[in-house]
Structure 1
């Protein structure tokens, strides 16, 4: 199953649209307009989660991807017109200085950049927090900045459109988790409702990058029997990371999650073993490569959804991504295609 031109154009649009936590409306609008209307019955819950129902017989199955991306929020406007920001989600501080940004004010888009000392003046002092970084939008005073419609609480995203890198790699901002969103859209287009062995709810959640909590209201409303999470995971195939925590690499297939953990080694998510082994068996039967994921320092939207859904069976399938939470997130389209193929086989077999 190859990524065709239409799929790539849609992914370009998904990546380009701003959608930081709590401001995912434009992403939801694009997704809703991209889903096949005759097949999907779409609804938005009060928090902003988009749920696309494809009716079928059998267990209620939620396949989940989150719409939000990491970004920044304006904290202060300085007298000289510059901005100070704080992170929204786990945005990379290391990647911020010298980067191009998009500021979204009440008057719309404003180009911005994160200042960086010229090498001639650099003392090599480490940048340890966001107070050390100043955002420049071309203003010379606080009044000029405010006249552009800018105020504390406005948000910024990386200015990094999708681009190809070699034959199968892509890079840009927000691949975490717009790739997951594109997978669910593709799935809706290729599934034949009569093939389904379940009652399917494709669920696009909000606010994963802050508190992981956005999907709770969706799980409460659907009350699924099974939850399958689709998100990105860390790739360890660059020279600085090889062999450090995992052998996950781009192009070697999706990763099946066995555990993830935040706050040291406390497990945030341990999947249902029977369901996870079932997915592995389907992958093996259909010649779909899988990698094993045990992730430390991260978790996904489905973790709190388990409790909201009264303990649904859950598993997670991940797309390996290099340079997570930076403007140059990088993934392999072959891994994306294999997630779509695997989900198709899983959902058209008994769960």
Structure 2
């Protein structure tokens, strides 16, 4: 059965998985990766690792990864009257919270709810224009009391996700919660499908990772297991083709995936990635050879696992591909199926290349000393 990018993405978007609760996504991804893999495993934290290609001991080890989790919330306190206080998990945009609908993954199944907002008719002054802090927000699940909430399967620690089922927009765009990073997860499955009947010159590891939105380091146990020479991460990056960001950068939807030149944590350069010129040239020359559109991106405020992966072992070369995405970390992210397809195509071209065409890696550096 041929890979269907649209239905695969919509299936993954229908799932709820804040950091630490990625099981539903892993349960879909792992058997699909296993269809053509040499072996698959799920580690203690929940990372899904699938191995393909060469099993020669000196083969170049390349890891392609994307994270499974999404931004969301967790129940912090249940009031006596049944209203629920909550904490952010990851970085959902606070400005979008009041009035949003959510799903609570309770012990008895999914429970719908909404984040309360002071009735407009009784709001005064700044209350009508300024969103309240999270300490002043609550979730309403219709519970009449704390015990009523308990009986619905809700407790302190219950995960909560944004609720916005995927819908298709014009020009091959899709709008949904959790495009960050179910787009990347879809790319992993698309890559696995493309290489299913191909002979690889490298040892390829496809990894669906956990807890990126929480601490950006949930993937590290997989790094220690795989011991890669080079990694390629696939994630989203803010698209700057909207009226509010048009003057900031040139990255646009439907113009191909972004190639990361620079990213770092928005509150200082505690961690981030400056991509090696050799890696940049490898990505761009491969895209040009196969006539795949790409864009360069410089994205302060964006950070991915590569910021920490590059510091493991004796140093690991890292590449980053990004699907441009509007309205990131909101309930209504928007991205392009065309950009996603081009990302899959480029990933396949990269991993199907001969090992001697890859950029200088830690392995070749070690053997040259």
What's the TM-score once normalised by structure 1's chain length? 0.95
Find the counterpart in structure 1 of residue 331 from structure 2.
Answer: 327
Find the counterpart in structure 2 of residue 47 from structure 1.
Answer: 45
Distance (Å, rounded) in 2 between the aligned partners of 1:242 and 1:185: 32
Find the counterpart in structure 1 of residue 348 from structure 2.
Answer: 344
3-state SS in 2 of match to 1:307: coil
Find the counterpart in structure 2 of residue 28 from structure 1.
Answer: 26
Alignment of 1:259 with 2:257, yes or no, is: no
1:239 to 207, 227, 243: 243
Distance (Å, rounded) in 1 between the aligned partners of 2:245 and 2:212: 26
Task: Compare 4-13 and 52-61 and name the one that shifted more.
Answer: 4-13
Alignment of 1:159 with 2:166, yes or no, is: no
Q: Considering only aligned residues, what root-mean-square deviation do their CA atoms show, in Å?
A: 1.6
**Alpha-carbon shift at residue 122 of structure 1 (Å):** 2.4
**Alpha-carbon shift at residue 343 of structure 1 (Å):** 0.9
Distance (Å, rounded) in 2 between the aligned partners of 1:289 and 1:265: 31
- Per-residue CA shift, 1:203-254, capped at 9, x if unaligned? 111000011011110001110001001000011111122113x111111110
3-state SS in 1 of match to 2:182: helix
Find the counterpart in structure 2 of residue 196 from structure 1.
Answer: 200
Q: How does 1:288-299 map to 2 (within 5 A)?
A: 288-299=292-303
Distance (Å, rounded) in 2 between the aligned partners of 1:158 and 1:235: 21
**Alpha-carbon shift at residue 117 of structure 1 (Å):** 2.3
**Alpha-carbon shift at residue 39 of structure 1 (Å):** 3.3
**Alpha-carbon shift at residue 36 of structure 1 (Å):** 5.1
Contact 1:98 1:116 in 2 (8 A): yes
Task: Compare 72-81 and 9-18 and name the one that shifted more.
Answer: 9-18
Gaps of 5+ in 1: none
Contact 1:224 1:309 in 2 (8 A): no
Find the counterpart in structure 1 of residue 4 from structure 2.
Answer: 6
Alignment of 1:248 with 2:251, yes or no, is: yes
Alignment of 1:131 with 2:135, yes or no, is: yes
Q: How does 1:141-290 map to 2 (within 5 A)?
A: 141-192=145-196, 194-244=198-248, 246-266=249-269, 268-290=272-294
3-state SS in 1 of match to 2:64: strand
3-state SS in 2 of match to 1:278: helix
Find the counterpart in structure 1 of residue 122 from structure 2.
Answer: 121
1:312 to 316, 338, 348: 316
Gaps of 5+ in 2: 359-369
Contact 1:63 1:227 in 2 (8 A): yes
**Alpha-carbon shift at residue 92 of structure 1 (Å):** 1.1
3-state SS in 2 of match to 1:195: coil
Q: How does 1:50-61 map to 2 (within 5 A)?
A: 50-56=48-54, 58-61=59-62
Find the counterpart in structure 1 of residue 363 from structure 2.
Answer: none
Contact 1:177 1:231 in 2 (8 A): yes
Distance (Å, rounded) in 2 between the aligned partners of 1:29 and 1:309: 30
**Alpha-carbon shift at residue 348 of structure 1 (Å):** 1.4
Contact 1:248 1:291 in 2 (8 A): yes
Distance (Å, rounded) in 1 between the aligned partners of 2:97 and 2:3: 32
- Per-residue CA shift, 1:163-206, capped at 9, x if unaligned? 10113000101111111010010111111454323110001110
What's the TM-score once normalised by structure 2's chain length? 0.90
Find the counterpart in structure 2 of residue 66 from structure 1.
Answer: 67
Distance (Å, rounded) in 2 between the aligned partners of 1:340 and 1:200: 15
Distance (Å, rounded) in 1 between the aligned partners of 2:164 and 2:234: 23
Aligned residues: 347
3-state SS in 1 of match to 2:96: coil
Residues 337, 10 of structure 1: CA spacing in aligned structure 2 closer, same or farther, 3 A cutoff? same
